[in-house]
Amino acid sequence: MPLIKAGAYARDEYAAAADDAAALPDGPVIVSLARFQKERAALIARNAALGVRLKAEQSPALLGEELSRLSLVVLEFPKFRDGRAFSWARMLRTRYSFKGEIRAAGDFLYDQLAYMTRVGFDAFEVSETITPDLFRRALAEMRTVYQPSADGRKTIRELRAMR
């Protein structure tokens, strides 16, 4: 699936490793939470970028202290209506000050991209229907926002105070 980052197509540097794959590929790899919890030390000792993929019901709190050693967290959308990942992304950015990539995977729509960006997603596994042009259009639909979020964007209240 195409990957969009910073409003443009990007190459996916990572390879996904199945839970039962004995050997891990070289280079950046994504594992499930289950595998991460089982092989934590070994995975972190690898001299390569590490990503963990979380299901919708799995809170980033489960990543523990090694979160800071991750360069990628993938958050799943089993169904676009399941909005838990919005809180998970927000938690990663604000509570844990996670600076790595937060990637959206699964069923999500053009109409959610702006919200996702606001709460801290910065990478998107998109279907072919979402092009970089459409992606940028989605982010520009609402010129103003009322509430603060993980993106640090100025709220209407702040803009008003600046006039």
Partner 1 sequence: MYRYDEFDAAFVADRVAQFRFQVERRLKGELTEDQFKPFRLMNGLYLQLHAYMLRIAVPYGTLAARQLRKLAHIARKYDKGYGHFTTRTNLQFNWIKLKDVPDILAELASVEMHCLQTSGNCVRNVTSDQFAGATDEEIEDPRPLAEIIRQWSSLHPEFTFLARKFKIAVGATPHDRAALQWHDMAVEIVKNAEGRVGYKVIAGGGMGRTPYIAQVMSEWVERGDILAYLEAVLRVYNQDSRRDNIHKQRIKILINAIGPEQMRARVAREFEEIKRMGTLQLPAEELERIRAYFAPPAFETLPDAMPTGDQDFEDWKKTNIHRHRAPGYAIATISLKAIGAVPGDISHVQLDALADLMDEYGMAEIRVSHEQNLVLPHVKKRDLPAIHARLKALGLATANAGLVTDIIACPGLDYCDLANARSITIAQKIARRFADLDRQHHIGELKIKISGCINACGHHHAGHIGILGVDKKGVEFYQLQLGGSGAEDASIGEIMGPGFGEHEIVDAVERVIEAYLKLRAPGERFLDTYRRIGPEPFKNVAYLEQLHAAH
Residue 146 CB, nearest approach to partner 1 (Å) = 4
Q: Check binding of 119 to partner 1 (CB under 8 A).
A: yes
From residue 40 to residue 59, the character string flagging contacts with partner 1 as x (rule: CB under 8 A) and all else as - is ----------------xx-x
Question: Which of 18, 42, 65, 129 touches partner 1 (CB under 8 A)?
Answer: 129
Q: Check binding of 84 to partner 1 (CB under 8 A).
A: yes
b (16+ CB within 10 A) / e for 62-94: ebeeebeebebbbbbbeeeeeebbbebbbbbbe
What DSSP character marks residue 111?
Answer: G
Q: Return residues touching partner 1 (CB under 8 A).
A: 56-57, 59, 80-84, 86-88, 90, 94-95, 109, 111-112, 114-116, 118-119, 129, 141-149, 156-157, 159-160
